[in-house]
Amino acid sequence: MPLAKALELAQEYDLDLVEVAATARPPVCKLMDYGKFKYESAMKAREARKNQAHTVIKEMKLRPKIDPHDYDTKKGHVVRFLKQGDKVKITIMFRGREQSRPELGFRLLQRLADDVADLGFVESNPKQDGRNMIMVLGPHKKKTEAMAEAREAQAARKAGRQPESSAIEEPAEEPAEA
């Protein structure tokens, strides 16, 4: 269709004539509300940014002679981080004579890796770095999957609580004395 006729048609419908493929022969144009198109594409971009996951590395520091309860607490933190989809860097800090026994730290890291094997995997094996021994655990789930699961769980909790809060409790009748 000639350019003049296309412009006239766009004016008649109160739309914009937008060139879609300039390199095509003849050039391809489309009748659309360009302001609405820009707004919708901005909203899609914002939604994509909102759902985008930032890779975060959480760090947990341990000592070779750790108490069982302290180990369980630290392991709980590692489990929480892995469930959230974050990587976890575990550092064992050696002091004094402990540096001559790196196998203690290695065994502790292996034990931790075995304990959380269902949630994550060893991304980088334990390696000695001066006074510290470092290992990185990566989650099996991607951050976006973990975020989606957390949102669903929160919505389920919210839906489960809502009816309870709206229920009106009536006072119980006291038994009559005879």
CATH number at 104 reads 3.30.110.10
Does residue 30 sit in the same domain as residue 62?
Answer: no
CA 150 to chain centre: 9
- Stated pTM of the model: 0.58
Strand partners, 61: 91
CATH code: domain of residue 22? 3.10.20.80
The number of distinct structural domains making up the chain is 2
Does residue 70 sit in the same domain as residue 106?
Answer: yes
DSSP strands (E only) in 11-158: 16-21, 28-32, 57-62, 87-93, 120-129, 132-139
**Structural domain harbouring 83:** 57-139
pLDDT band at 80 (very low <50, low <70, confident <90, very high): very high
pLDDT band at 168 (very low <50, low <70, confident <90, very high): low
**51 within 8 A of 142, measured Cβ to Cβ:** no
Does residue 61 sit in the same domain as residue 135?
Answer: yes
Going by C-beta distance under 8 Å and a sequence separation of 6 or more, which residues neighbour residue 106?
126, 133
